[in-house]
Amino acid sequence: MENILKVALAQISPVWLDKNATLLKIEATISEAAAQNAELVVFGEALLPGYPFWLALTNGAKWDLKINKELHAHYVRNSIQIEAGELANVCALAREYKIAIYLGLMERAKDRGGHSIYASLLYINQEGEIKSIHRKLQPTYDERLTWAPGDGHGLQVHSLKQFTVGGLNCWENWMPLPRAALYGQGENLHVAVWPGSEHNTKDITRFIARESRSYVISVSSLMRKADFPQNTPHLEKLLEESPEVLANGGSCIAGPDGEWILPPVSNKEGLLFQELDFNRVYEERQNFDPVGHYSRPDVTQLSVNRKRQSTVSFSDEE
């Protein structure tokens, strides 16, 4: 049934700032989703190895503060360099189980020197191939103290059965033009990933679905005070300042009519499953299609630069 897609929303916590332990948890979750015949599994923003919650707990904007420098260095060390093959096992699981994956991670990008990190959203297809790496265009508020701004290279969509899937990170989903860039490529299943909490997902998930007449999957992580590992730098200070719950989930799905298929689920760790019927996309596009019959490209058009940005280019003579 090419029009039916079973999706799994992985609402889990990281082993915070521990990439190796978090990878093991992600791999186990992929296997669990595959055992339930899921064809797509989605993980939250920056799940690997976790969101920089310390910035809100340690006076993150204070200049030259040692605790922030040390936590930042620990974060970079536990971020992922894709070129080094650190996701080989994840790709192998996608290939073995024929399951597509959207994974939010911190990317220590080799093509930008390897010292800055990007909140990236990675798509792996059912053959285990990495097909796009979208680096978050604009880190939000205090995220800018530890994340670098990305580029348009990852504004891409992918075929999955009859669906065309695309995704954005967190508050990028509020940006009209990146949304339009995905709509214009035929997106009809939109993936929105978040660090966590229902206050992020409860309004915009339905709004994007109604605007685009597409399915929208919002997937959030969890983070609780108890999730700080014992080997976390400056753990005592973080625990002193931390609330009991830093991110409560709120993962959910809206249908192409903007109504809930799966309302936000909070404070529950694990996989959420749902089957999506592509026919509903065509039904809702009958009266509105933002890049088709209800658009006016003769009046307004969007230009998108998808070139991967780098600081240097080399012309080496043979």
Look over the chain and give the mean of its residue pLDDT values, rounded to a whole number. 96
In the 3-class helix/strand/coil scheme, how is 196-230 assigned residue by residue? CCHHHHCCHHHHHHHHHCCEEEEEECEEEHHHCCC
Q: b/e for 66-81, b at 16 or more Cβ within 10 A?
A: ebbeebbebbeebbbe
Q: Which residues contact 277 (CB under 8 A, 6 or more apart)?
A: 3, 4
> How confident is the model at residue 249, as a pLDDT?
97
Q: Which two tokens stand for residue 193?
A: 């990933």
**C-alpha distances out from residue 260 to 34, 131, 191, Å:** 25, 29, 15
Q: What is the pLDDT of residues 65-93, one digit of tens each?
A: 999 999 999 999 999 999 999 999 999 99
User: Can you tell me the mean pLDDT for 276-285?
Assistant: 98
- Residue 29 is classified by DSSP as H
Distance, in Å, from the CA atom of 193 to the CA atom of 105, rounded to the nearest integer, reads: 11
**Closest among 219, 194, 218 to 206, alpha carbons compared:** 218
Q: What is the pLDDT of residues 119-174, one digit of tens each?
A: 999 999 999 999 999 999 999 999 999 999 999 999 999 999 999 999 999 999 99
- Residue 145 is classified by DSSP as G
> How confident is the model at residue 256, as a pLDDT?
98
Catalytic position from the list 45, 107, 172, 211: 45
Give the range of the structural domain holding residue 172, as residue numbers without chain letter: 4-285
Catalytic position from the list 136, 143, 161, 284: 136
How would residue 316 be classed by pLDDT, with cut points 50, 70 and 90?
confident
SS3 state at 183: helix
**What value does the CA radius of gyration of the chain take, rounded to a whole number of Å?**
19
Distance, in Å, from the CA atom of 250 to the CA atom of 193, rounded to the nearest integer, reads: 11
Q: Is 136 a catalytic residue?
A: yes
CB-based contact 55:68 (threshold 8 Å):
yes
Residue 302 lies in a domain: no
> How confident is the model at residue 318, as a pLDDT?
67
Catalytic position from the list 170, 187, 198, 252: 170
Torsion of CA 21, 23, 28, 33, to 10 degrees: 140
Backbone φ and ψ of 70, nearest 5°: -70, -40
Single-letter amino acid, residue 166: G
Which residues is 262 bridged to in the sheet?
253
Angle between helices 88-97 and 19-35 (to 10 degrees): 0
Q: What is the pLDDT of residues 8-33, one digit of tens each?
A: 999 999 999 999 999 999 999 999 99
Single-letter amino acid, residue 136: K
Owner of token pair 């929105």: 192
Residue 193 lies in a domain: yes
CB-based contact 90:23 (threshold 8 Å):
yes
Number of domains present in the structure of the chain: 1
Has residue 317 got a pLDDT over 80?
A: no
Residue 111 lies in a domain: yes
Q: Which two tokens stand for residue 166?
A: 């695309």
Q: What is the pLDDT of residues 290-305, one digit of tens each?
A: 999 999 999 999 999 9
Query: What's the CATH number where 215 sits?
Result: 3.60.110.10
**232 φ/ψ sector (left φ>0, alpha ψ -120 to 50, else beta):** beta
**C-alpha distances out from residue 292 to 158, 181, 223, Å:** 19, 13, 41
Residue 296 lies in a domain: no
Q: Is 318 a catalytic residue?
A: no
Residue 294 lies in a domain: no
Residue 222 lies in a domain: yes
Residue 310 lies in a domain: no
Q: What is the pLDDT of residues 200-209, one digit of tens each?
A: 999 999 999 9
> How confident is the model at residue 313, as a pLDDT?
86
Has residue 118 got a pLDDT over 80?
A: yes
Q: What is the pLDDT of residues 200-237, one digit of tens each?
A: 999 999 999 999 999 999 999 999 998 999 999 999 99
- Report the predicted TM-score, pTM, of the whole model to 2 decimal places: 0.96
Residue 295 lies in a domain: no
* Strand 163-169, strand 158-160: pairing: antiparallel
**C-alpha distances out from residue 155 to 57, 170, 304, Å:** 33, 14, 9
Angle between helices 176-183 and 204-212 (to 10 degrees): 40
* Strand 4-11, strand 40-43: pairing: parallel
Residue 45's Cα: distance from chain center in Å?
A: 4
